[in-house]
Amino acid sequence: MNVLGIESSCDETAAAVVKDGRKILSNIIDSQEKLHRRFRGIVPEIASRSHVEKINAVIEKAIQKTGRVDAMAVTVGPGLIGSLLVGKMTAEALAWAWDRPLVGINHLEAHLFSALLDSPRLEPPFLGLIVSGGHTHLVIVEDFGKYKTLGQTRDDSAGECFDKVASMLKLGYPGGPAIDKTAKLGNPKAIPFPRPYLTGSWDFSFSGLKTAVLYYLNDFPEKISNVEDICASFQSAVTDVLTHKTFLAAKRYGLKKIAVGGGVSANSELRKKFNIESRKSGIRAYFPSLILSTDNAAMVAAVGFYKHQRGISSKHLQVDPSLPLTNWEKSSLPFSLSPFGERGG
């Protein structure tokens, strides 16, 4: 079954066709990065206008050579309301005109499963880590549509923290890739930034770390020339926390697989640390390819396939800018998945 996915929740206009939830037939992404760069962040009004201008051409390109479209899937939240509406209205109109089933997809869910597109043998159950511009979630994925969120960020998301620190260092937007690149030239042990482990909880908190970088810059303005060391030390702190908590949770819940998704999963240091920890623990870590780490529509189409398989579709969808990650069916996790209790690390 070929599913056409449409993604427009933030600043990427994307469409993709995926066969049977696993094989990418096309994957078109039109990034608005250049439009927002001079504002050092996403301007919602500019984002939705650009989606309107681009979405038809992006979809046309995605379906040009892929043959039949059997079903459609579109992101309905979380995201920017205007941007989400462009995707939803376009998808609804096409589903009506082509008489195809349509499925609404949670953007977080799409990131959770993005690694499946590169790893044909990856199936739930696994522990999912979503690290994007808007979210940091640690989730037990028992099955498609069956989730238990262990923890999430209490303030800034990991991606937001990368972007804000990059902005303080005048490295431009988006900040994650710039910090990743600059950090390669620095010493990660140069500055002992705090590691917010929040022992006893699976939640995350990155705003204190961001403030620690700000204080460092205020206290030692002469050291701003040392950008490489600041980037490497900051990145080391974020990735230490993400790696430690994720592997601890996988061990506590007896999960042998971890799947990471979202823009920050493109981070080279995070990938390196997960690989090292993976070899030590025997818990396998799966990452999406770089193009599928950040926003794309292939991950939306993939989840659309599994949702459609379970008989979920609707001609009319509702968008929700703060859509939470919820289960498709009423479910409770079997007790065997939490043998050590809820206490986090």
List the beta bridge partners of residue 16: 5, 27
Q: SS3 string of 184-234? A: CCCCCCCCCCCCCCCCECCCECCHHHHHHHHHHHHHCHHHHHCHHHHHHHH
Q: Determine the Cα–Cα distance for residues 26 and 103; give it in Å rounded to an integer.
A: 19
State the binding partner of 175 from Zn ion, ligand KG4, none, CB within 5 to 8 A by kind. ligand KG4
Identify the residue among 13, 32, 48, 132 touching ligand KG4 (CB under 6 A): 132
Site string for Zn ion, 93-132 (x = CB under 5 A): ---------------------------------------x
Segment (H or E) for 27: strand 23-31
State the binding partner of 134 from ligand KG4, Zn ion, none, CB within 5 to 8 A by kind. ligand KG4
Identify the residue among 30, 109, 240, 295 touching ligand KG4 (CB under 6 A): 295
Identify the residue among 124, 159, 188, 344 touching ligand KG4 (CB under 6 A): 159
Residue type, 159: G
CB of 191 to ligand KG4, least distance (A): 18
Does 206 contact ligand KG4 by CB under 6 A?
no
Identify the residue among 125, 151, 176, 304 touching ligand KG4 (CB under 6 A): 176
Residue 87 or 175: the one with the smaller Cβ distance to ligand KG4 is 175
What φ, ψ does residue 285 adopt, rounded to 5°? -110, 130
Q: How many helices (H) and strands (E) are present in the chain, helices listed first?
A: 11, 10
List the beta bridge partners of residue 149: 139
Q: Is 289 helix (H, G, I), strand (E, B) or coil?
A: coil
Identify the residue among 5, 87, 145, 262 touching ligand KG4 (CB under 6 A): 262
Please give the residue ranges that form the binding site for ligand KG4 (CB under 6 A). Answer: 10, 132-134, 159, 162-163, 174-177, 180, 262-264, 266-267, 294-295
